[in-house]
Structure 1
Amino acid sequence: MKKILLLALGALMLSGLGSCERRRALTEAALPEVSRQFIAEYFPGAEVSFAKVETEFLDKEYKVVLADGTKLEFSRKGAWCKVERRYDAVPEALVPEPVRAYVARQFAGHRITCIERDRRDFEVELDNGFELKFDHDGQLIDFDD
């Protein structure tokens, strides 16, 4: 009986650890230096409307909203993970050349309004709603309309 009670208590504690999520607002100055440099380089003169850090168990993520509605996400070290713009294209310099070339060739006249990267791939969303996934070499690996 004692073993069953200890196992149940252990399982309850472990299930609670994964859901320990905290969010708190930040000032722009409290963002990692890398993130602040990114904003200054790719969105010069942009005003930060809101910034927050989300901490979940062993991971940390920074989220920023600029005054023009642009949404930015940064990793725990401050590197950009996602740039999403509602009414404009993402900065061209963020999009790898093979991805830009593919979009220009296959979707002429459409803009990339969102780009997301991780260790494995890049995902872009176009202003027509198409989502394209590329590997780090710029080869298309998946799409969704």
Structure 2
Amino acid sequence: MKRIILLAITALTMTFTFTAKADNSKPVRFENLPENSQKFVRTHFKGTEISYIKQESDFFLWKSYDLFFVNGSKIEFDRKGNWEEVDCMRDEVPAAIVPAAITTYINRNHAGMKIVKISRNSKEYEVKLNNGIEIKFDKRFNVIEYDN
């Protein structure tokens, strides 16, 4: 009996492992993005040409979206269409998406630098400056990590 249970657990583990590693991405059209993703792009990246968009599904069939622009910038959206990461390469991310407390901190402590990448999750924000410095903030916008 133990052998059968062990075999079943092994089979399930292998199934999840191979499913997770499979390429579960496909191209999608702008119109197939969640509405709030479309609005975000129209608001903050108006006039920026889109190269392609891909939808990824994990083994729980949750979807996420990666949008790539011709200029190299990239936006990652979660399954609900909320932005998780905006990477503008060398260009500045739109000021309107950066929380005011982070902008104040950067202006005060890194005058003249611009934020070229920002990411967020339920616990923290992370920004990358054009000089390569990366700074993590908690949800109260206290600096929790500094990497240069």
Q: Which has the higher strand share?
A: 1
Which one of 14, 25, 28 corresponds to residue 27 of structure 2? 25
Q: List per-residue Cα deviations over 1:15-49 (Å, max 9, x = no partner).
A: 32144241111111111111111000000122221
Change (3 A) 1:24 1:11: same
Pairs aligned (count): 144
Tell me how far 1:5 sits from its aligned partner. 4.1
Q: CA RMSD in A?
A: 1.4
Asked if 1:60 is matched to 2:59, the reply is no
Question: What's the counterpart of residue 41 of structure 2?
Answer: 39
- Separation in 1, partners of 2:146, 2:7: 44
Tell me how far 1:14 sits from its aligned partner. 2.4
Assess if the C-alpha contact under 8 Å between 1:19 and 1:56 holds in 2: no
Tell me how far 1:6 sits from its aligned partner. 4.3
Tell me how far 1:3 sits from its aligned partner. 3.7
- Separation in 2, partners of 1:137, 1:50: 35
Asked if 1:4 is matched to 2:3, the reply is yes
User: 5+ unaligned residues in a row in structure 1: which ranges?
Assistant: none
Q: SS in structure 2 opposite 1:12? A: helix
- Separation in 1, partners of 2:90, 2:28: 26
Amino acid aligned to 2:71: D
Q: SS in structure 1 opposite 2:3? A: helix
Assess if the C-alpha contact under 8 Å between 1:88 and 1:113 holds in 2: yes
Q: List per-residue Cα deviations over 1:75-96 (Å, max 9, x = no partner).
A: 0000000000112100001111
- Separation in 1, partners of 2:6, 2:59: 22
Assess if the C-alpha contact under 8 Å between 1:98 and 1:139 holds in 2: no
Question: What's the counterpart of residue 80 of structure 1?
Answer: 83
Q: Give 4+ residue runs of structure 1 displaced > 3 Å after superposition.
A: none
Which one of 94, 99, 103 corresponds to residue 97 of structure 2? 94
Alignment TM-score, normalising by the size of structure 1 = 0.92
